[in-house]
Amino acid sequence: MTATTVRINYEIKDPSLAPKGKQRIEWAGREMPVLRLIQERFAKEKPFAGLRLAACCHVTTETAHLAIALKLGGADAVLIASNPLSTQDDVAASLVVDYGIPVYAIKGEDAETYTRHVQIALDHRPNIIIDDGSDVVATLIQERQGQISEIIGTTEETTTGIVRLRAMLRDGVLTFPAMNVNDADTKHFFDNRYGTGQSTLDGIIRATNVLLAGKNIVVAGYGWCGKGTALRARGLGANVIVTEIDPIRAIEAVMDGFRVMPMDEAASVGDVFITVTGNKHVIRGEHFDVMKDGAMVCNSGHFDIEIDLKTLAEKATEIKEVRNFTQEYKLKNGKSVVVLGEGRLINLAAAEGHPSAVMDMSFANQALACEHLVKNQGKLEPGIHSIPENLDKEIARLKLDAMGIKVDSLTPEQIEYINSWTSGT
Ligand code: ADE
């Protein structure tokens, strides 16, 4: 893509960071062959010509490739951050300076700035929204009903956002189509599991540089993100304990070889705690009271609600920054608890989020979901729609091709066999 001469508005930390950002965006692109093919096709076919798009995503090297795909596809797109701590300022700079994409995102932005950026995204009067956590869609519905007639649809990236969309649907307020990117197989099997798994451990290590081998690591939640996190923690030699509220997931964790116990018990055993439940106050007052001196707590779920930091602060006599993204709370009981990444997504706060190779498939889903909304404008019912199976499978095929891996196909005899019910024992 060539640099643009059109003046655009933006709010980023520092445009002079652009060269570093461009270099890193190009590096990430090496691991994103599927999205590259989509970029090339979009550049020719311009599926979004004449359409306005607002994307609320973690502003990373991988998101840069999604934004570039949308722009090449003809979209008039703006990008805002989906989390105050996840923005990579050099990437934001490069998107503005090198690619002419308006970005409103600064790492460490306060809550007021974050919500103002959500308003800016809606001021763009989008026809399509790409959301990660559903903040833009929730604001649209609560504050901008007059704009809903301009919406073709939205896409949603993450489990938390899907949970919110389901609640909107239940309350009868979701009056346009929403594409459920999270539940595509080529998304959650890889991004949620291997992406969260690797990047969460990466975030903890970058923040603390502690040895994880031999530590008791408590993983709260055994959804796809929890499964990946537990798997990778075990790979580093930790003794992994899982906490769950769902009996089936709890059995799965047991049979995957993990110890399962309630947080009330795990609290006094753990050295490192990682929350990935999507729910509120999973680690709270009574748990902090019994933790070991120096226990570390962090979160890899979408919102910073999983650890009750307000109660922890009330129990503290002093809160001290001991390293980047690492705060020690000295408690009245004489012990201390160490909080990583302010309880926000540790993988994006202290590291760089999921690796490009998994985001390749997640964002291929996002790009194709946007195209699907446009191609089917006026035909999709209001509500939540799965990514069509043929798109999901096509993304998997393209990924395998790019990896140089071939797979079998059914023989005519096998096709006949699985389509008949007459031959049994
Ligand atoms: N969510 C998790 N990791 C991410 C990444 N690298 N880019 C964008 N969104 C993400």
pLDDT confidence tier of residue 29, bands split at 50, 70 and 90: very high
**C-alpha separations of 255 from 183, 221, 262, 382 in Å:** 24, 15, 17, 40
Distance 352 CA to ligand 1 centre (A): 8
DSSP letter (8 states) at residue 191 = I
Residue pLDDT, tens place only, 148-187: 999 999 999 999 999 999 999 999 999 999 999 999 999 9
Q: What are the tokens at 164?
A: 């919110």
Burial class, 75, CB count within 10 angstroms (exposed 0-12 / middle 13-18 / buried 19+): buried
Distance 350 CA to ligand 1 centre (A): 13
Is 4 a residue whose pLDDT tops 50?
no
Scanning the structure block, which residue is given the tokens 């120096």?
Answer: 294
Residue pLDDT, tens place only, 220-233: 999 999 999 999 99
Is 1 a residue whose pLDDT tops 60?
no
DSSP for 250-308? HHHHHHTT-EE--HHHHTTT-SEEEE-SSSS-SB-HHHHHHSPTTEEEEE-SSSTTSB-
Higher pLDDT, 425 or 367: 367
158 CA: nearest ligand 1 atom: 1
Report the nearest-CA residue for atom 8 of ligand 1. Answer: 58
Distance 294 CA to ligand 1 centre (A): 29
Residue pLDDT, tens place only, 305-338: 999 999 999 999 999 999 999 999 999 999 999 9
Distance 225 CA to ligand 1 centre (A): 13
Is 108 a residue whose pLDDT tops 60?
yes
CB of 192 shorter than 6 A to ligand 1 = no
Residue pLDDT, tens place only, 394-410: 999 999 999 999 999 99
pTM for the full model?
Answer: 0.95
pLDDT above 70 covers a percentage of the chain that reads: 99
Q: What pLDDT was estimated at residue 7?
A: 82
Distance 299 CA to ligand 1 centre (A): 15
Calpha distance 163→158 (Å, rounded): 9
Pocket test for ligand 1, best of 359, 360, 361, 363 (most atoms within 8 A of CB): 359
CB of 353 shorter than 6 A to ligand 1 = yes
Q: What are the tokens at 392?
A: 């999901």
Scanning the structure block, which residue is given the tokens 């748990």?
Answer: 287
Q: What pLDDT was estimated at residue 163?
A: 96
